[in-house]
């Protein structure tokens, strides 16, 4: 049985992950966290499972912590996880390059599964986009990435869209910093061959739509993933938590978890 803790358990994802973990006999939910100033601290998330201000204050040390919070909260969690020697599953998005480097450094001491998207379908999309970009390199195809999320999402573009852009750039052999275009307006001139367009829309309660277009004169290839429930991300995170428990220190992805 994996002893599990979930951060940000008052949020949409944290709450859902915690509830699904309680239904899974392979987990023992030992505690959940919220901000130190939250009125929930000390109260019960479920019978026998309380809210704590940090994982270090949970009486029974967890084996794995699942984190879908904010970049600042994740940064603090990394320090605690290193001190406690607990494994992490991180799905937080909007991280800076400095914060991503901190994840890499912490993974030298504890096992970490880090992915901007935990769903099986999206990770298969990552693989397909990689293969498509590799096959179509230098063949005159334009690449554009479109993503749609709910009105409450705070960061843009989504972590998944950024990952897709990174995959495309790597396989095309271009520098994403120089090639990325985030929206177009006015007389911008003809599209440059190495541009990678990344566009975001925010509306209603859309859980998450991502489409990567590979287009040339005469044809267009579209690779799309649409999430209709947050459960796909939550269940993916729980699958990752089971997989990473007991693993050696290192930085892992959902490719490792799913064996693809």
State mean pLDDT over 221-237. 95
State mean pLDDT over 4-9. 98
pLDDT at 117 over 90: no
State mean pLDDT over 72-92. 97
Tell me, what's the pLDDT at 32?
98
Tell me, what's the pLDDT at 93?
86
**Regarding the domain delimited by 120-227, which CATH topology (the fold level of the hierarchy) does it fall under?**
Dihydrodipicolinate Reductase; domain 2 (3.30.360)
Q: pTM for the complete prediction?
A: 0.81
Q: Calculate the alpha carbon distances from 221 to 1, 94, 227, 234, 241 in Å.
A: 44, 28, 20, 30, 35
State mean pLDDT over 90-106. 94
Q: What is the pLDDT of residues 122-169, one digit of tens each?
A: 999 999 999 999 999 999 999 999 999 999 998 899 989 999 999 999
Q: What is the pLDDT of residues 201-226, one digit of tens each?
A: 999 999 999 999 999 999 999 999 99
Tell me, what's the pLDDT at 232?
93
> Are residues 173 and 137 in contact, defined by beta-carbon separation less than 8 angstroms?
yes
> Are residues 2 and 245 in contact, defined by beta-carbon separation less than 8 angstroms?
yes
Beta-carbon neighbour count of residue 134 at 10 Å?
14
Q: How confident is the model at residue 61 (pLDDT cuts 50, 70, 90)?
A: very high
- Which backbone phi and psi does 186 adopt, to 5 degrees? 80, -165
Domain limits, the chain: 2-114+230-258, 120-227
25 catalytic? Reply is no
225 catalytic? Reply is no
Q: What is the pLDDT of residues 238-251, one digit of tens each?
A: 999 999 999 999 99
Active-site residue (options: 28, 76, 150, 153): 153
Tell me, what's the pLDDT at 258?
87
Compute the mean pLDDT over every residue in the chain, rounded to the nearest whole number. Answer: 96
Active-site residue (options: 3, 50, 149, 163): 149
Look-up of token digits 């951060």: 7
Dihedral angle, C-alpha 80, 82, 85, 86, nearest 10 °: 60
Q: How confident is the model at residue 120 (pLDDT cuts 50, 70, 90)?
A: confident
Percent residues over pLDDT 90 in the chain: 95
Q: How confident is the model at residue 62 (pLDDT cuts 50, 70, 90)?
A: very high
Helix 97-106 vs helix 71-84: angle between axes, to the nearest 10 degrees? 10
Tell me, what's the pLDDT at 15?
97
Residues 56-86 as b or e (16 or more Cβ within 10 Å = b): eebeeebbbbbbbbbeebbbebbebbbeeeb
Q: What is the pLDDT of residues 14-49, one digit of tens each?
A: 999 999 999 999 999 999 999 999 999 999 999 999
Structure tokens at 46: 């479920």
- Going by DSSP bridges, is the β-strand pair 111-114/87-90 parallel, antiparallel, or unpaired? parallel
Interatomic CA distance for residues 244 and 88, integer angstroms? 8
Q: How confident is the model at residue 84 (pLDDT cuts 50, 70, 90)?
A: very high
Interatomic CA distance for residues 136 and 150, integer angstroms? 32
Return the higher-pLDDT residue of 158 and 117.
158
**Regarding the domain delimited by 2-114+230-258, which CATH topology (the fold level of the hierarchy) does it fall under?**
Rossmann fold (3.40.50)
Tell me, what's the pLDDT at 116?
83
């Amino acid at each position: 049985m994996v002893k599990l803790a979930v951060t940000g358990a008052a949020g949409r994802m944290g709450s859902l992950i915690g509830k699904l973990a309680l239904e899974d006999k392979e987990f023992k939910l030992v505690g959940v966290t919220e901000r130190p100033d939250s009125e929930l601290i000390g109260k019960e998330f479920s019978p026998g499972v309380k809210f704590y201000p940090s994982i270090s204050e949970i009486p029974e040390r967890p084996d794995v912590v699942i984190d879908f919070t904010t970049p600042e909260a994740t940064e603090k969690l990394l320090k605690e996880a290193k001190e406690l020697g607990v494994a992490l599953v991180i799905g937080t998005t909007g991280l800076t390059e400095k914060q991503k480097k901190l994840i890499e450094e912490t993974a030298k001491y504890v096992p970490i599964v880090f992915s901007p998207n935990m769903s099986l379908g999206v990770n298969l999309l990552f693989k397909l986009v990689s293969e498509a970009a590799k096959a179509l390199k230098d063949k005159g195809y334009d690449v554009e990435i479109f993503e749609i999320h709910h009105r409450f999402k705070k960061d843009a573009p989504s972590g998944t869209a950024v990952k897709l852009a990174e995959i495309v750039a790597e396989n095309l052999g271009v520098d994403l910093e120089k090639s990325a275009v985030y929206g177009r307006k006015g007389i911008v001139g003809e599209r440059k061959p190495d541009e990678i367009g990344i566009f975001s829309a925010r509306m209603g309660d859309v859980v998450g739509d991502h489409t990567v277009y590979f287009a040339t004169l005469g044809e267009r290839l579209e690779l799309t993933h649409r999430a209709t429930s947050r459960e796909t991300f939550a269940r993916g995170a729980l699958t990752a938590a089971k997989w990473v428990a007991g693993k050696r220190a290192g930085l892992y992805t959902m490719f490792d978890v799913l064996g693809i």
